[in-house]
Structure 1
Amino acid sequence: MSLEQLIKQCKKRERKAQEELFKLYSNKIFGVCLKYSRSKAEAEDNLQDSFMTIFNKIEQYNFKGSFEGWIRRVAVNTVLQKYRKEKESLFEITSKEIEDVVEVDIDNSEDVSLDYLLDLIQQLPDRYRLTFSMYVLDGYSHKEISELMKISEGTSKSNLARARMILKTKIEEDGLKRKVESL
């Protein structure tokens, strides 16, 4: 069965088609959810919530553009919406605090594994983790982040700077030396 046929059946709310679509894309969407979650268990919850939203909104997909891109966007928006409901408040950090971020002297000879970095990213406070993941891992602009998270562009930049500072500090504390600025 083609992807187009599968999507059309999902639009008719056919259970078997939904199961097939879930099997086809769950690993990729889980990867997206994992980047935005504090733990694997939370990522699994976010995956389920994302697919519920995908199935509820699939009739909005108009076969223009990549379907995978569309479901990734739905997943990110679902996680962000959940985050917005949970957050109490975002605090602004001043430009002076951003300027005070000290660069890390990093030696490229030691390896920082992807799993290690993902673990550190998951430990970041929500506002920093989400901003960092969206900007660095998914390539969103600060303008897009500000619109999706309902924060100012300045706050997005501040959150990113603070996330980088926290990650650099944790890596230094663990005794690892490697170029982190490219994160």
Structure 2
Amino acid sequence: MDQDQLIQRCIDRDRKAQYLFYKKYYSFFFGVCYRYVQEREKTMDLMNLGFAKVMLNLKKYDKSQVLEKWMKTIIINVVIDEFRKTKTYKEHITIYDQSALANMNENATEPEYRGEILEAINEKLAQLPPVTRSVFNLYAIDGFKHKEIAVMLNIPEGTCHWHYSKAKQTLKEHLQRQFSM
């Protein structure tokens, strides 16, 4: 069964098709949620909520879009809505002056130990405060603009820039220490 058929059967509430869809995109859903939450149990909750929202809105999916990008947007919104609802992120937000924004070197050399570096980055990202981690993920990985992220997280755009710079600086320092770059 191709993707269009699977989607149509899911829209028609075919349980078997929904299970196949869930199984097919499980790691995708999990990966997106885990990047933001870093807790397995919470990730599972948000992933299942995101899956339910995708199923409920699948009839609105425009086939001219890439399905994964469309689903990722829904999942990210579920995660951000959860942040807003629980106000977890508020504990980690501080309003910073524009002068606090650090200038970071955009050019990094690519060492030969790529797997180790990716592992080190993921470990350090997991240690960042939730908002800093979310801003970094939304900007660097998911491609949102700072203005969009500021609206999503209900923070000033300057604070958004600060969180991104702080994440980059922390990652850069960690990698330099660990790999003597």
The 5-angstrom pairing of residues 1-183 of structure 1 reads 1-87=1-87, 89=90, 90-99=93-102, 111=113, 112-171=116-175, 175-178=178-181
Shift of 1:149: 2.0
Q: Is the 8 A contact 1:110 1:176 kept in 2?
A: no
Structure 1 range deviating more: 89-98 or 71-80: 89-98
Paired residue type of 1:137:
I
Structure 2: which 5+ runs fail to align? none
Structure 1: which 5+ runs fail to align? 179-183
Tell me how far apart the structure 2 counterparts of residues 110 and 53 of structure 1 sit (CA, whole Å).
Answer: 41
For residues 103-158 of structure 1, give each alpha carbon's deviation from its aligned partner in whole angstroms, at most 9, with x where no partner exists.
7xx98768452122112112111110000011111222112212322323222111
Paired residue type of 1:123:
Q
Q: Give the structure-2-normalised TM-score.
A: 0.82
Tell me how far apart the structure 2 counterparts of residues 46 and 65 of structure 1 sit (CA, whole Å).
Answer: 23
Shift of 1:166: 2.9
Q: What RMSD in Å do the two structures reach over aligned CA positions?
A: 2.5
Q: Which has the higher helix share?
A: 2
Tell me how far apart the structure 2 counterparts of residues 49 and 116 of structure 1 sit (CA, whole Å).
Answer: 29
Change (3 A) 1:87 1:167: farther
Change (3 A) 1:115 1:44: farther
- In the comparison of the two structures, how many residue pairs are matched? 174
Tell me how far apart the structure 2 counterparts of residues 8 and 81 of structure 1 sit (CA, whole Å).
Answer: 28
Tell me how far apart the structure 2 counterparts of residues 3 and 108 of structure 1 sit (CA, whole Å).
Answer: 37
Change (3 A) 1:65 1:175: closer
